[in-house]
């Protein structure tokens, strides 16, 4: 009886499947979730380069003259000072003295082959970089003025006036000679006239510096007394003739 019951159950199931197939029905299949494609790796973007900002010029320097050096082919004017020009002569003990060359040699000896660091300040009218340069953490401009191989360029900076006063009092470098201020020497040469290789008398400018006075004065054709302060339009080009009462 039990075998007959199992056979009857199997037969009923088979009959049901056959009837469903005959009627065009198919077993219900649970829906499959949609296939999501795996994420594709994205190409990495190149890093954005940092903005280029002007920085310090660093390297071994070549000396051009007492206030100009060259690093990696870039001409650099030392900030705040003016030195005798390469071809400029001063008078020492009554004899011609190549003070411009001596100034350049002093700068070259001071720098040597040491690394020079120059922080840009501006550009001059000739397109040269004007920078505050140092070696071993010491200002080159300050050293040149303090040792008397350059003067404070008051038209552009007041930074080295005290150093100049110290050098002048100690008669260091060019202060032990008779000389024409570098800007006066250049003004004479630009004017088209002959530049005296030696000053015929102690420079009026250097005399004024020794006395602690930076104001120039002259007398015009009408007899009026005109005064020029450092930085004024005609200060550098004004030449002093003490024989005519100018100071």
Confidence of residue 211 (pLDDT cuts 50, 70, 90): very low
Residues 140, 103: Cα–Cα separation, whole Å: 13
User: What value does the mean pLDDT take over residues 132-136?
Assistant: 97
Put simply, whether the predicted model's pTM sits higher than 0.75 gets the answer no
Q: What is the pLDDT of residue 218?
A: 60
Domain span including residue 102? 57-244
- Provide the sign of the torsion angle of the four alpha carbons 179, 142, 238, 192, taken in this order: positive
Q: What CATH code is carried by the domain that includes residue 149?
A: 2.40.50.90
Q: What is Dmax (Cα atoms) for the chain?
A: 156
Residue 146 has pLDDT above 70, yes or no: yes
Task: Using DSSP, state whether 231 is helix, strand or coil.
Answer: coil
Catalytic residue among 98, 128, 189, 247: 128
Q: What is the pLDDT of residue 53?
A: 42
Residues 165, 204: Cα–Cα separation, whole Å: 16
Whether residue 108 is contained in a domain is answered as yes
Q: What is the pLDDT of residue 2?
A: 47
Instruction: Assess contact for 236 and 187: CB atoms under 8 A.
Output: yes
Instruction: Respond yes or no: is residue 52 known to be catalytic.
Output: no
Residues 66, 111: Cα–Cα separation, whole Å: 12
Residues 204, 199: Cα–Cα separation, whole Å: 10
Instruction: Respond yes or no: is residue 114 known to be catalytic.
Output: no
Whether residue 22 is contained in a domain is answered as no
Residues 219, 149: Cα–Cα separation, whole Å: 32
Instruction: Respond yes or no: is residue 77 known to be catalytic.
Output: yes
Structure tokens of 66?
């007492």
Whether residue 80 is contained in a domain is answered as yes
Count: domains in the chain? 1
- How confident is the model over 28-63, as pLDDT tens digits? 555 566 666 666 655 555 554 443 346 899 999 999
Catalytic residue among 85, 164, 184, 236: 85
Whether residue 41 is contained in a domain is answered as no
Q: Is 122 exposed, middle or buried (0-12, 13-18, 19+ CB in 10 A)?
A: exposed
If you ran DSSP here, which 8-state letter would residue 195 be given? P
Q: What is the pLDDT of residue 217?
A: 65
User: What value does the mean pLDDT take over residues 86-100?
Assistant: 95
Percent of the chain's residues with pLDDT above 90: 51
Whether residue 193 is contained in a domain is answered as yes
Residue 80 has pLDDT above 80, yes or no: yes
Whether residue 110 is contained in a domain is answered as yes
């Amino acid at each position: 009886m039990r075998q007959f019951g199992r056979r009857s159950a199997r037969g009923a199931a088979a009959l049901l499947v056959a009837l469903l197939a005959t009627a065009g029905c198919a077993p219900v299949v649970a829906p499959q979730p949609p296939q999501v494609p795996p994420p594709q790796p994205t190409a990495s973007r190149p890093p954005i380069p940092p903005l280029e900002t002007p920085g310090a010029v660093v390297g071994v320097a070549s000396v051009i003259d007492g206030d100009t050096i060259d690093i990696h082919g870039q001409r650099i004017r030392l900030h705040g000072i003016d030195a005798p020009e390469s071809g400029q002569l001063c008078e020492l003990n009554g004899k011609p003295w190549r003070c411009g060359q001596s100034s350049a040699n002093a700068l070259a000896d001071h720098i040597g082959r040491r690394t020079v660091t120059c922080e840009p300040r501006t550009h001059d009218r000739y397109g040269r970089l004007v920078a505050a340069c140092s070696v071993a953490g010491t200002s080159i401009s300050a050293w040149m003025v303090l040792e008397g191989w350059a003067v404070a360029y008051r038209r552009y900076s007041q930074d080295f006036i005290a150093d100049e006063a110290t050098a002048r009092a100690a008669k260091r470098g060019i202060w032990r000679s008779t000389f024409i201020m570098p800007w006066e020497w250049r003004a004479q040469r630009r004017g088209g006239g002959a530049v005296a290789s030696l000053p015929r008398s102690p420079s009026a400018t250097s005399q004024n510096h020794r006395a602690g006075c930076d104001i120039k004065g002259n007398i015009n054709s009408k007899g009026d007394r005109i005064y020029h302060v450092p930085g004024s339009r005609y200060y550098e080009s004004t030449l002093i003739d003490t024989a005519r009462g100018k100071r």
